[in-house]
Each structure stands twice: as C-alpha cells, then as structure tokens.
Amino acid sequence: MTDPRDWFPSEEEPNPMRAAQAGMKPTLPKRFYKNAGVEERDGRFLLTLDGRTAKTPGKQDLAAPTRELAEALAEEWQGQGAEIDPSTMPITRIVNSAIDGVTPRQAEVVDDLVRYAGSDLVYYRAGEPERLARSQDQAWSPVLDWAREAHGARFTLGEGVMHVAQPDDAVAAIRSAIEQVRSPFALAALHVMTTLSGSVLIALAHAAQELDVDRAWAAAHVDELYQESVWGEDYEAMERRRRREADFKAASTVYRLATR
C-alpha cells in the first residue's frame, strides 16, 4: 500500500495559504483506492481501503475503539476526490495523533492539559468596556460554576493579563477530572479542544455536556467577537477561525464517538 506518510504531507511542505500567496499549488497525494470501509477485528474497528487495513503515519493500524468512530473515519476517506487532502480530514488527523502520539505518552498529555488549568482563559476578565466584561461573565461564569459544583474547584479571577496564581487544590481537582479520561482517543480530542479554545475548563465542560459545541466555541472567542462588533470583520481572521472551529467540532465528534 502507498506509504501513509504520503497521505499527510509534513509541516515542512508548503501549507495551502503560503502556497497560494506564492502562486504555487501544493502537491497532494493521489487517491489510490476506490472504497473505504470498516472491519472489526479483536475488538477494534479498522479502517480499510479496498479491503486492506489502513495505517497511521507511524505505521500502526488505523483503528478506532468504536464502530461509530471508525465509520466517521471511513466517511472522511470515502469523501476524498481525485487527491487526498488532509485539511478536509480532521477526524483522521486526531485519530492518528491518538494512536501514534497520545497512547505511548498519556501521562505527558495529562500534564500538558493540567498546565492550562493554571492559566485558563476564563480567569482573566476585562474591567472595561462594560459590554465586553458582561459578555465574558455571561460566557465564562457558567463554566466556573460547573467546575466548582462538579469538581469542587474554586478558581481566582483577575483583571487584565497579569498572571494570577491558582489554588493548588483547584488545579489538583482538574487533574483528577482529566485523569478520568482513560481513552487515548478521547484524551487526544480533549487536548485538541483545549489548545483551540485556550481553555481546559471549557473543553471539560463541553465533554461533560454542560455546554453544547456551538456554545463552547463561542465562549472561547468572546473577545474576538467583541472586537469584530466594534471594528468590523476581518476576512482572513474569520477564515482562520472557521477552519479552527471545524477542527474543534471534529474533536468534539471524536470525543463523543470514542466514549460511547
């Protein structure tokens, strides 16, 4: 089968935005299969391409813990055209990351997520203008209320961007919540949602179904949305946020399907 690394060009190759700016078109690998499917084997659900097991970039079986997640993978692969475009395959990217990156290093991923709890987006509030401060409170206070009620974690708020030290017991409570996410697939998805939102608390609240995916994404972008309401929309910023939102929603899907 074609080398899986050909399916996902490395970061050293031109990304689509830079290639477009340079008048170049990045070379994408050609589609080499007709049908993507799912095969159950030894309790795992493998992605197959024309009946052959697909591999991750690390040359491991591209397999999911649930049929629903494997079928979402197959849908991405089946939906490719004459070329394979990784930018349109966020679920595959997350599953690859879970298998090749998170599974052998779950403790490190947990530690990285816990670091967000020490400086989470939702702790830092604007003193003014009043409308922004009110929007932040409406979006973020329910997240903090949930963290307190669900995990006994009480955090300290600050005004502006100066770092505010958080209580050790509150951070420890969030560590405990993260450590309860045993599936490397769910943990990978949680990490993606956290890095895209800048908030492990928003990601955890969404994972716990306290916030739906649209509300979680909006909560992570209160400041940007306010700035756009004042200064107008910037096309490039909106497109960048749109792509990141698609990745966030894909991570939400992986989390949900991996934990069924």
Whether the per-residue pLDDT at 174 is higher than 80: the answer is yes
What is the homologous superfamily of the domain 4-88 according to CATH?
Answer: ATP12-like (3.30.2180.10)
What token pair was written down for 21?
């700016």
State pLDDT tens for residues 65-120: 999 999 999 999 999 999 999 999 999 999 999 999 999 999 999 999 999 999 99
Helix (H) / strand (E) element for 110: namely helix 106-117
Pick 84 or 6 by higher pLDDT: 84
CA-CA distance, 140 to 220, in Å (whole number)?
9
To the question of pTM greater than 0.85 for the whole model, the response is yes
pLDDT of residue 20: 44
Cα–Cα nearest to 44, from 64, 25, 70: 64
Specify the range with the lowest mean pLDDT, choosing from 24-33, 111-120, 212-221, 250-259: 24-33
CA dist 253 and 100 (Å) reads: 19
Angle 236-203-55 (CA atoms, 0-180°, nearest 5)?
80
242 has a pLDDT exceeding 70: yes
Task: Compute the distance between CA of residue 203 and CA of residue 213 in angstroms, rounded to an integer.
Answer: 9
Same fold yes or no, 4-88 and 104-258: no
What's the confidence (pLDDT) of residue 19?
46
* Confidence check: pLDDT of 167 > 70: yes
User: For 137-157, how does the pLDDT look when each residue is reduced to its tens digit (9 = 90+)?
Assistant: 999 999 999 999 999 999 999
> What's residue 234's pLDDT?
86
> Which CATH topology does 104-258 take?
ATP12-like fold (1.10.3580)
pLDDT (0 to 100) of residue 232: 86
Q: Is the distance from CB of 88 to CB of 82 less than 8 angstroms? A: no
Tell me the domain boundaries of the chain.
4-88, 104-258
The per-residue pLDDT for 13 is 42
Quick one: residue 33, left, alpha or beta (phi over 0 = left, psi -120 to 50 = alpha)?
beta
